[in-house]
Structure 1
Amino acid sequence: MENISDFQVFRESLVAAARGPFFPDWEFHALFGLERAEVEFIADSLTPSTPLTGDVALALNNAMVNLLGYPHGQDAAWPQWLSATPAELEAIFSRWQASGNEA
């Protein structure tokens, strides 16, 4: 892994979830608890100093969980949206969960 930061992967996960081919519109709200436009707004506004709480934590948690576990069938599209491999995303997600900041 090239020195990608957790922040970069957080932002990429949100962008991939909101704009990528991974989640159908009809199921998006059920998977995320937020509308696609809300996740897109969070992705666009995320900065390294953004508190990872509330809807930001919800969007981030659900983006990573669903990118890793939802049967999206878009493995070939993954590298177009995320610089982290699934294993790297899982490690970053686990580290974030262990920090106590998850939704």
Structure 2
Amino acid sequence: MKLNNLSKNDLEIIKDCLIFSEDERVFPGWEFETLFGISRERFSAVSKEWPAVDSESQDVEMAVIGCLNNILGYLHMSDKDWKNNFSFTPNELLKILRNIE
């Protein structure tokens, strides 16, 4: 996963997404591992270390890419809900996702 071409703002957006995704109300425990491919415990470890992570780690890749993909494609939020939860647009998040894959 490529992280070296991300701006400080991009890294902060990813951090916000990781924190948001850890919330049990957003992604309940019964479906978390199925959606992300890693346990919530391992996901939380990545979130706590972000952005000082090993970009080659499979856990980091699963957490970050899974997080961005699930926020963009799995959650169904109205524009109002999006604005209440995030300070960035879906298009900004999609651009970050494309830059790291």
What TM-score does the superposition give when structure 1 sets the normalisation length?
0.74
Structural RMSD (CA): 2.2
What is the 5 A alignment of 1:23-34?
23-34=27-38
Tell me the residue number matched to 1:78: 82
Structure 1 unmatched runs, 5+: 98-103
Which of 59, 65, 70 is residue 66 of structure 1 equivalent to?
A: 70
- Report deviation, 1:21: 3.6
Q: Which SS does the other structure have where 1:41 is aligned?
A: helix
Structure 2 unmatched runs, 5+: 1-6
- Report deviation, 1:37: 2.5
Q: Which SS does the other structure have where 1:50 is aligned?
A: coil
Tell me the residue number matched to 2:39: 35
Q: Which has the higher helix share?
A: 2
- Report deviation, 1:51: 2.4
Tell me the residue number matched to 1:101: none
- Aligned mates of 1:74, 1:21 — CA distance in 2: 14
Greater Cα shift, 8-17 or 80-89: 80-89
Question: What is the percentage of aligned positions where both structures have the same residue?
Answer: 27
- Aligned mates of 1:82, 1:4 — CA distance in 2: 16
Tell me the residue number matched to 2:4: none
- Aligned mates of 1:93, 1:63 — CA distance in 2: 10
Kindly tell me the number of residue pairs found equivalent between the two proteins.
Answer: 93
